């Protein structure tokens, strides 16, 4: 896991906070983004160009999901358009 700053991301005060998580198959960039409605976690896949911003409730809802939910997501590993 590497920590980096990303000019395209939102700001936290004067500093941007970003983390990249990668393995041999893919990488995602996690960035905290300030919006008019509060802080969001932006998840960005540089390889595929997909991004999503999640609020705290959306993130918490991920913890309610059984592992099978994520297995279904991976049935199309390149996203819904592929």
| DSSP string across the chain | -EEE--TTS--BTTB--EEEEE-SS-EEEEEEEEETTEEEEEEEETTTTEEEEE-HHHHHHHHTS-HHHHHHHTTSTT-TT-
Q: What is the pLDDT of residues 7-58, one digit of tens each?
A: 444 444 444 568 999 999 899 999 999 999 999 999 999 998 999 999 999 9
Tokens of 74: 């991976």
pTM above 0.75, yes or no: no
């Amino acid at each position: 896991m590497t920590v980096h700053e990303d000019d395209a991301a939102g700001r936290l005060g004067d500093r941007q906070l970003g983390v990249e998580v990668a393995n041999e198959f893919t990488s995602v960039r996690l960035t905290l983004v300030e919006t008019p409605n509060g802080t969001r976690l932006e998840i960005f896949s540089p390889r595929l160009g997909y991004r999503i911003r999640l609020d705290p409730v959306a993130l918490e809802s991920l913890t309610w999901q059984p592992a099978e939910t994520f297995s279904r997501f991976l049935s199309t590993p390149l996203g819904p358009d592929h």
